Structure 1
Amino acid sequence: MRSHHPHQSGRQSRPAVRALVLALTVVAAMLPWTGAAQAHGTVINPATRAYQCWQNWGHRHMDPALQTQDPMCYRAFQANPDTMWNWMSQLRDGLGGQYQARTPDGQLCSNALSRNDALNQPGAWKATTVSRNFTLQFYDQASHGADFFRVYLTRQGFNPNTQRVGWGNIDLITQTGRYAPTQNISFNVSTSGRSGQHVLFVIWKASHMDQTYMWCSDINIV
């Protein structure tokens, strides 16, 4: 009976292992994003539409309950799973400050990215309950820092269940100054007397290059 020698077997398999590792490396390089190397950030409280989908359903995206308990996230996931998985990277380069001119009405929540158009759809998005004065929390894994944040809020009477967000139905309520590179940033926001269901729209101008992020967070102001 032939004996089996682990060391001998290992020597014989090394070329095959090296070939497999090389193949996996090539495949990984071809993926749209690969973890921290392409990671950026988002508003985590009140959670953006994409972030709350990932936070609540990312670990159980195949659960049938997704369709019935959170139909907006279900529709977004069906339209493009990347909307949920790539919640950190809703960015455009080179806008040169022309945010309104280069972001059409009805496309604000996706930052005019066609792959994320499901985020523009009106409907019963899960909302975060906030007071009339609350603290916005932002997380940036890559620690880019900020030239500024601009925070807008829909006007009283806006209905997020039936309306897309456009420039004509939001008001600028907060603009910050610069922030040094860090992963966690927070600042106070006043809702200027509004109440009920609204959409918070945030622009983040990152400091490391002309890179702009835009998101929508659904809120219930009490």
Structure 2
Amino acid sequence: MTFTMVVAMLPWAGAAQAHGTVINPASRAYQCWQTWGHRHMDPAMQTQDPMCYRAFQANPDTMWNWMSQLRDGLAGQYQARTPDGQLCSNALSRNNTLNQPGAWKATNVSRNFTLQFYDQASHGADFFRVYLTRQGFNPNTQQVGWGNVDLITTTGRYAPTQNISFNVSTSGRSGHHVLFVLWKASHMDQTYMWCSDINIT
């Protein structure tokens, strides 16, 4: 599915609700919404995608509001105010299932790939910071913490627009990893964080 087709499928939301997420490789909540949102009552989810099933059972609003995983007023204290094991939920208790290790569906990527981000409200970005779990990290059994990720990309500013993409190098890693992305929006002190599961081939 192309980037244009994915964006065309996204639901409209009012400006107060509209924000964004990483759509490729899909963040955990977005992947669950994209795959199961239109058939979230399908019992097949329990066996075919057990991590999404747990997330929907715990709080379906996590998936319906996949674009609203934000905190206000962090004043640059991203690590100090985001405890280990809570990176994937952006330390939001309502999204805690996104922190749980397990068999999340992973997107296949090459060692150099293009990250695609959708900013529905066109907030723009002061910067993105992209982290990747270290070689040997096991997403099936370990929660993502600051001590098991490395910063691999920091971008500059982006003017307000809906579609942002930039290149990411996985620095020689291979296999199953978790990509952790931090977005500092430009319109106010508003910070978003997500995890995307990837398989580096």
Same fold (TM over 0.5): yes
Question: 2: distance between equivalents of 1:26 and 1:221?
Answer: 24
Over the matched positions of the two proteins, sequence identity in percent amounts to: 91
Q: Which residue of 2 aligns with 1:195?
A: 174
How many Å apart are 1:39 and its aligned residue? 1.1
Question: 1: distance between equivalents of 2:2 and 2:173?
Answer: 55
Q: Which residue of 2 aligns with 1:176?
A: 155
Contact kept in structure 2, 1:28 and 1:34, CA below 8 Å: no
How many Å apart are 1:53 and its aligned residue? 0.2
How many Å apart are 1:34 and its aligned residue? 6.2
How many Å apart are 1:37 and its aligned residue? 3.1
Question: 2: distance between equivalents of 1:25 and 1:52?
Answer: 17
Contact kept in structure 2, 1:195 and 1:221, CA below 8 Å: yes
How many Å apart are 1:30 and its aligned residue? 26
The alignment partner of 1:201 has SS state of: strand
Question: 2: distance between equivalents of 1:125 and 1:28?
Answer: 22
> CA deviation digits over 1:120-153, x for unaligned, max 9?
0000000000000000000011000000000000
Contact kept in structure 1, 2:180 and 2:193, CA below 8 Å: yes
> CA deviation digits over 1:24-54, x for unaligned, max 9?
9999999999644311000000000000000
Contact kept in structure 2, 1:153 and 1:172, CA below 8 Å: yes
Given the alignment of the two structures, is residue 220 of structure 1 paired with residue 181 of structure 2, yes or no?
A: no
Gaps of 5+ in 1: 1-21
Contact kept in structure 2, 1:147 and 1:207, CA below 8 Å: yes
Contact kept in structure 2, 1:40 and 1:88, CA below 8 Å: yes
Cα pair distance change 1:48/1:30, threshold 3 Å = closer
Question: 2: distance between equivalents of 1:75 and 1:45?
Answer: 22
Greater CA drift, 36-45 or 47-56: 36-45
Q: TM-score, normalised by structure 2?
A: 0.93
Alignment coverage as a number of residue pairs: 201
Cα pair distance change 1:111/1:64, threshold 3 Å = same
Contact kept in structure 1, 2:55 and 2:98, CA below 8 Å: yes
Contact kept in structure 2, 1:146 and 1:206, CA below 8 Å: yes
Cα pair distance change 1:183/1:28, threshold 3 Å = closer
> CA deviation digits over 1:55-80, x for unaligned, max 9?
00000000111111000000001000
Match of 2:5 among 26, 31, 36: 26
Question: 1: distance between equivalents of 2:5 and 2:165?
Answer: 39
> CA deviation digits over 1:95-127, x for unaligned, max 9?
000000000000000000000000000000000
Contact kept in structure 1, 2:135 and 2:173, CA below 8 Å: yes
Given the alignment of the two structures, is residue 122 of structure 1 paired with residue 71 of structure 2, yes or no?
A: no
The structure whose Rg is larger is 1
> CA deviation digits over 1:138-172, x for unaligned, max 9?
00110000000000000000000000000000000
Cα pair distance change 1:146/1:69, threshold 3 Å = same
Question: 2: distance between equivalents of 1:186 and 1:29?
Answer: 16
